[in-house]
Amino acid sequence: MKLLYFAWVRERIGAGEEQVDPPEAVRTVADLAEWLRGRSAGHDEALADLTKLRAAVDQRFVPLDTPLGAAKEVALFPPVTGG
């Protein structure tokens, strides 16, 4: 699965994207974020507070409790504001 990170999430992790193969126990976007926290100190810092994250699965905005299913791409980013 391809992961994409944006804004301060990317900065804290130190990469804009990575390829992962999460274990079967990782079933939702929130599970994925929790599992990713163990990859590095940057992942842990960026993904520690799920209330500050938004997600897209295969380019569709989704809540964090969304099942991953056969997702090919997951993007994690802070809430978007505009003017």
Query: Does 81 have pLDDT greater than 80?
Result: no
Indicate the pairing of strand 2-5 with strand 54-57: unpaired
- The reported pTM is 0.93
pLDDT grade, residue 82 (50/70/90)? low
Which residues are CB-neighbours of 2 under 8 A, at least 6 positions away? 17, 18, 19, 72, 73, 74
Domain boundaries defined on the chain: 2-77
- CATH superfamily entry for domain 2-77: Beta-grasp domain (3.10.20.30)
